[in-house]
Structure formats: C-alpha cells, structure tokens
Amino acid sequence: MVNLHATLWRFRYILIAATAIGILASILSAIERLEPEMAAVVVVKNSVPAGTELSANDLETRLLPTDALPEGSLTEPREATGQVVATNLPAGMPLARSTLLGEEFLATAGSGQAIVPVHVAMDGTDAVAVPGARIALYSLPSGYEEAREAKLVTGHAIVVGLGATDSGSSIFREAESTRVVFVSIPQEEANAVLGYGAVAPMRAVIIDPA
C-alpha cells in the first residue's frame, strides 16, 4: 500500500495533467456544440414566390450552421442571379441548386417519375396549381374538333414548381395567357402530357388527397 501511494505521489503531476486535458476536451466539445460550424451561403433577403427571376438585389450572403443547410447550397450570389426559383421561398431561406429551375431540379423526380413543364391557362384554374398540390390536367378541344368534352390527360400530377407567365403564342399553341407549371407524373404519361401541352394550354383541377 505504501509503495502504491508513493507511486501515485511520484506521478501526481502526470495524473493532474491528464485530468486537465480530459476536462479541457470536454469543455471544447461543449463549446463546439454551442457554437456549431458555420458556412457562408446565399439566401433570399425577402420572401419570393415561385417563378421569380432572381436579381442581385434579392440575394445576400449569411453565415448559417452547416447542419441546417440543404445539400447543394450556393455560396456565390452570381450563381443564382438571373435564375428562376421553382417554389415559394421564405425570407432568409438558403438557396440550393435544386430550388432553381435547371437540370438538378428536373433530376429530383423519383423512380418511375418524370418532371415535365406544361402550360396551364391563366383563367382561374391555374390558381390551384401550387407546389405540393395533386392535380389533374385536362386538354380542351380546339375549334376544329367535333368533340366538345375536355379530355383527361393525367390524373396523377403533383406540382413541384412554377415557371414564368407567357402571353405569347406559337404555330402550335393558341394565343392565351399561360403559366408554366412543372409537374411530376408517371414516366409512361410524359409523352401524352407533352403532346397535348404543345397544342393548347391545359386546365388544372385539384384532386382531393383523400
């Protein structure tokens, strides 16, 4: 017992140092939890609706905790300037590539799904086409068709983003104010949706989620 006490006494400074190092490590760990790692990312200054083309005045850089950032967060305002947001964004929301209309946004479709743009007539039916809504898309007959009933093109569309409004026309599409709506649909319905959408604007009808 005497030898044990003597040994402990001899190495008391080492034991004290080891204890101090352990305490210091605990303190540093606690500080890291209180002060998480931060990163400078691009956010929107004010809330912006889907379909907004971002300007430099809409953007600023802020330090935010890395744990709270979406994947693919932008770090330079120039990366977002001139881009169109696909969904409504609240003030202070970090911008990720998947929130902007582009290849990465279109690549977010799940297995067996496709994200396609359709022109929806701005006649009141477009009001139901908001991100997250489940809608059916109908094509109205043209003046050259005998059938006067609207045709159901798809009943399985989920709105995932909004694009710009358009009051122009083409040799295929009738002159009518429309809004570009991005919808996620089953891949096997993509050809029909794009085909009917190229001829005339569609009408959106919301589907009861129940």
For 68, phi then psi, to 5°, come to -95, 0
Are the folds of 38-107 and 112-166+174-206 the same? no
- Does pLDDT of 191 surpass 90? yes
Tokens of 73: 């967060």
Arch. (CATH architecture) of 112-166+174-206: Beta Barrel (2.40)
Distance CA 33, CA 198 (A): 54
* Residue boundaries of the structural domains of the chain: 38-107, 112-166+174-206
Residue 59, burial from CB neighbour count under 10 angstroms (0-12, 13-18, 19+)? buried
Residue of higher predicted confidence among 31 and 56: 56
Torsion of CA 185, 186, 187, 192, to 10 degrees: -70
**Are 113 and 168 within 8 A, CB to CB?**
no
| Domain 38-107: assigned CATH number | 3.90.1210.10
Averaged pLDDT, 171-197: 82
The pLDDT value recorded for residue 58 is 95
Angle at 102 between CA 84 and CA 55, to 5 degrees: 25
Lowest mean pLDDT across 9-13, 87-91, 110-114: 9-13
pTM: 0.64
